[in-house]
């Protein structure tokens, strides 16, 4: 996305002393020097190497900022590497995320064209179906379903078309984007644990990483997902909690038979009365991602410490086998059993904007299950806000962290 910015010409041009050598007045020389200083790239530190932080770093660098990204472990090591990567254009319509989601879906398409998404990170459009599965019922083929869905599926309904739903491999997307940001736009990546943000007289001036090293900055972006709750600077304003989501990755023996149909299930297990809502995402490689079984848990300090709950992983395997014989034991190899934490807020909306009372300190977190979808628009809008004072691509103010502050009494 190329933006053309026009600046108004000054009404009165400064006086120039004309001589044989066309000398410029001292006042004009000082003006030029001041202008050159103002044109120096703004130094921004982005804390967090997930998809939100990487998208923010990318769009900041595209706009000319000098960006350093700090990540304590590895880029896309948590939810951004273990999510489904599902994208939906209009599923948030009618709510506060409508504009954000639509803009971001289109940005994903643009980025895919720029970065060769189909080859680089598995970008492709999808047909998306909803199904009811009752484990106690017998299998029955349906002419309305792809042949690989041969379990007891009922009430198939198309809820997304190739015009409105798509997917990426989230880890590959995030790492492809940071690679481009490093190679083309000079972003620096440093593996370091953030200790604290230094604030003086209401303005951020630097961050301190583990070991006491100080990194100076003109602005800081905190894009730390559920780990945002570990910073008192943020937890004093709003709450971010972690929703632990489980997933498995299967490699079917006959991956070529798995068509690009994402499945949203209403799954009734024979051992329990209530329904589960697992999701299944075939990928272009032939592998199949199955996720669900989410609940709120304490977020550990280190992403490497996250382990899936065995009973949740076992249930996902059962779901996969029930939906399709191609995904059962003996027909598919389990390539990954994993879990991650989705960052959630009390009002269900992401937090994007400048931290109240701290100039130059920005936050982007709380995207819940829509982090991969909404990351590009979040990063692009935050880059505009940081560098130009406002966002033009969607109405950003409704996501400001200041919404959590109680109104003062007159």
Tokens of 360: 């130059």
Please give the Cα distance from 345 to 364 (Å, whole number). 12
What angle separates helix 371-388 from helix 51-62, to the nearest 10 degrees?
A: 40
What count of other Cβ atoms lies within 10 Å of the Cβ of residue 194? 22
Per-residue pLDDT of the chain (410 residues; tens, 9 = 90+): 333 333 233 333 333 333 333 333 334 444 434 343 445 789 999 999 999 999 999 999 999 999 999 999 999 999 999 999 999 999 999 999 999 999 999 999 999 999 999 999 999 999 999 999 987 766 665 668 999 999 999 899 999 999 999 999 999 999 999 999 999 999 999 999 999 999 999 999 999 999 999 999 999 999 999 999 999 999 999 999 999 999 999 999 999 999 999 999 999 987 666 789 999 999 999 999 999 999 999 999 999 899 999 999 999 999 999 999 999 999 999 999 999 999 999 999 999 999 999 999 999 999 999 999 999 999 999 999 999 999 999 999 999 999 999 664 44
Residue 133 · residue 290 · CB < 8 Å: no
Residue 339 · residue 245 · CB < 8 Å: yes
For the chain, give the mean pLDDT: 89
Q: What are the Cα distances from residue 305, in Å, to 61, 139, 235, 255, 368?
A: 32, 39, 22, 32, 20
Cβ neighbors of 195 (< 8 A, separation 6 or more) are 207, 208, 209, 210, 212
| C-alpha of 76 from chain center | 10
pTM for this prediction: 0.88
> What pLDDT sits at residue 272?
60
169, 168, 147, 142: which is closest to 157 by C-alpha? 142
Please give the Cα distance from 393 to 378 (Å, whole number). 10
Residue recorded with tokens 């489904």: 84
Cβ neighbors of 102 (< 8 A, separation 6 or more) are 89, 90, 92, 93
């Amino acid at each position: 996305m190329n933006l053309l910015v026009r600046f108004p010409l000054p009404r009165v041009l400064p006086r120039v002393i004309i001589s044989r050598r066309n000398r410029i007045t001292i006042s004009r020389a000082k003006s030029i020097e001041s202008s050159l200083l103002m044109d120096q790239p703004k130094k921004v530190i982005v804390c967090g190497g997930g998809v939100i932080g990487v998208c923010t770093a990318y769009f900041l660098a595209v706009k000319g900022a000098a960006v350093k990204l700090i990540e304590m472990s590895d880029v896309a090591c948590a939810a951004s590497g273990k999510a489904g990567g599902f994208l939906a254009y209009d599923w948030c319509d009618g709510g506060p995320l409508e504009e954000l989601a639509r803009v971001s879906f289109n940005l994903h398409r643009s980025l895919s064209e720029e970065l060769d998404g189909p080859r680089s990170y598995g970008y492709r459009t999808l047909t998306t179906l909803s199904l009811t599965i009752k484990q106690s019922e017998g299998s029955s083929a349906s002419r309305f379903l792809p042949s690989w869905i041969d379990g007891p599926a009922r009430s198939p309904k198309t809820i997304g078309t190739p015009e409105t739903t798509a997917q990426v491999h989230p880890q590959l997307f995030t790492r492809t984007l940071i690679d481009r940001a490093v190679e083309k736009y000079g972003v620096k990546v440093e593996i370091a644990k953030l200790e604290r943000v230094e604030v003086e007289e209401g303005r951020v001036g630097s961050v301190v990483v583990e070991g006491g090293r100080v990194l100076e900055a003109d602005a800081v972006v905190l894009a730390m997902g559920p780990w945002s709750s570990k910073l008192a600077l943020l937890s004093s304003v709003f709450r971010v909690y972690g929703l632990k989501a489980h997933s498995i990755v299967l490699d079917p023996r006959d991956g070529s038979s798995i068509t690009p149909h994402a499945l949203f299930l209403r799954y009734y297990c024979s051992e329990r009365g209530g329904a589960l809502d697992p999701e299944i995402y075939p990928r272009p490689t032939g592998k199949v991602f199955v996720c669900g079984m989410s609940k709120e848990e304490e977020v550990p300090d280190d992403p490497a410490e996250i382990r899936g709950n065995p009973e949740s992983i076992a249930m996902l395997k059962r779901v996969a086998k029930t939906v399709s014989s191609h995904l059962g034991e003996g027909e598919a190899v389990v390539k990954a059993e994993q879990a991650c934490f989705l960052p959630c807020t009390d009002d269900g909306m992401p937090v994007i904007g400048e931290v109240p009372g701290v100039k130059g300190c920005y936050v982007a977190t709380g995207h819940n299950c829509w982090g991969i979808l909404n990351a590009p628009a979040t990063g692009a809008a935050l880059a505009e806000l940081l560098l130009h004072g406002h966002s033009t691509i969607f109405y950003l103010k409704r996501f400001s962290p200041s919404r959590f502050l109680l109104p003062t009494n007159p």
